Amino acid sequence: MVKKFFTGQDVEYYASKGVSTIIVGENDVVTSIAKEVAEKKGIKFVTDNDSKITTQNVVQNQNFKNNTDNRIAVKNDKQIIAPKYKGLISEQEVNKWREEFPILKDVIHLGNCSQSAQSKRVRAAINSYLDNWNTIGMDWDSWVEETVKAKEEFAKIINADPDEIALTSSVSDAVNSIANSLDYTGKRNKVVVTDAEFPTVDYIWLANQRHGAKVEFVPVNEEHMIDIEEYEKHIDENTLITSITQVYYLNGFKQDIEKIAEIAHKKGSLILVDAYQCLGTEPVDVKKMNIDILTSGCLKYLFGIPGIAFMYVNKDLVNHLKPSVTGWFGQVNPFLFQTRYLDWSSTASRFDTGTQPVLNAYAAREGFKIINEVGVERIKDKIDMLSVHALQGCLDRGLTCVSPFDVNKKGGTTAVLLTNGMTGHDMEAELRRRNIIGSGRANVIRFAPHFYTKPEEIDVALDVTKDILNGK
């Protein structure tokens, strides 16, 4: 049975319509704020097995849904700016897709910036590999072919050629392979990074200082964003590569990659984009955006599992990079088993290394297929709507949100500052005990919906967060 949610906003709406009684089922959830509002408004919650209830002025198992089209809200000096919500994914379609993710029956899943919900399709793909292994024993031809198909499916998401896609075990490994392919001995040895990167990326570039790299950081401002003018200041004729994230993992700030690429290329710098925090929720066209290198793992919005990542390298750049991190799958023909010379592939596969993570590729391909089937443009439309809903929800509840209030500058993540001294990890654990999945970082809790998320689930998560912050 589908679980229904009643929030403070629902009660306010029903009160305005003259409702005096709300009937709830045994699986329904009534938040503490909803109970408080109901008490103030003189509204009663009763169970659906109470035979004394009449149908007059009664609401049964319905949830209020806000219209967020072009909503502009000014409150506490915050203004929500949102693109027009087109409603490209219907509620009926969402309900159908939710059946694909079993955890959604009992848990509110808003941790997609860390790990997406498991789909039946991905689980079946993993099992198909295990079954193949169990029955055939060794089937390297089909296993390697599966990694090729996964590259092809990833290429569709970013509008690349399959030959421009490399396979690595993680984004860390992908960035390392690029960093170790560059020559820092000349005048052009500067690496521009930002304070908004996932720390591993910064560590990699800092580690290459011993090879001559000069690392320079672009700062985030007091609103946890980066002014585009900062790139004009830091990228110069000595910049070898500009390494940036598309979406800031901490608060969801989204950068204008096309504009940054223009600034970088004008100075002769390469541009590397870590798209891990947005790919699957935001249209990415590496050709249109003039991206030289892009990498992403799969376990967040792409529905995959850990242990595999994909990297795009522009075909005009590939042969100019000589990776020191290499392996037999990085060669023209891995199965020649020659030992006396390097024969790097002329494609992005030169960045492949050792035995490939085949099981992970099975999962990744099926996850990519879901994204391509639903459509990234449609997913973005839904994510934008949910962002507006979350931002407004924070304002309505007096929660301190550190994410951009201009949705055009925001990815899927909405980050709430923990004002009671809790760590993000502690809040994450407390929410999990209440069947809500968020993702903690530092002193914030991040809520990251996907296209399968319902607005009322965000309301419940915010209500419960407020309760926890207030010691309830």
In order along the chain (472 residues), what is the average pLDDT of each group of 10 residues?
64 73 75 80 75 45 38 54 94 97 98 98 98 94 95 98 97 97 97 97 98 98 96 98 98 98 98 98 98 98 97 97 91 88 93 94 98 98 98 96 97 97 97 98 97 98 97 91
pTM as predicted? 0.85
- Report the DSSP beta bridge partners of residue 144: none
- Tell me the CATH class for 65-118+375-472: alpha beta
- Report the DSSP beta bridge partners of residue 439: 446
Distance of CA 224 to CAs 196, 253, 396, 402, Å? 8, 8, 22, 7
d(CA 261, CA 272): 9
- Tokens for 154? 């990833």
What does the pLDDT read at residue 74?
Answer: 36
* Count of residues in the chain: 472
Start-to-end Cα distance in the chain: 28
Q: Is the CB of residue 4 less than 8 Å from the CB of residue 57? A: no
**Which residue in 357, 364, 318 sits closest to 165, CA to CA?**
318
- Tell me the CATH class for 139-374: alpha beta
What does the pLDDT read at residue 72?
Answer: 28
What does the pLDDT read at residue 49?
Answer: 58
- Tokens for 463? 């209500």
- Tokens for 105? 């029956």
Count of beta carbons in the 10 Å neighbourhood of residue 149: 17
d(CA 229, CA 232): 5
What does the pLDDT read at residue 43?
Answer: 87
Mark out the alpha helices in 213-306 (DSSP H runs). Answer: 228-234, 257-266
d(CA 10, CA 369): 36
**Which residue in 258, 356, 364, 272 sits closest to 313, CA to CA?**
272
- Tokens for 355? 């035995």
d(CA 400, CA 391): 10
User: CA torsion 299→304→309→313, rounded to 10°?
Assistant: -110
**Which residue in 400, 339, 383 sits closest to 75, CA to CA?**
400
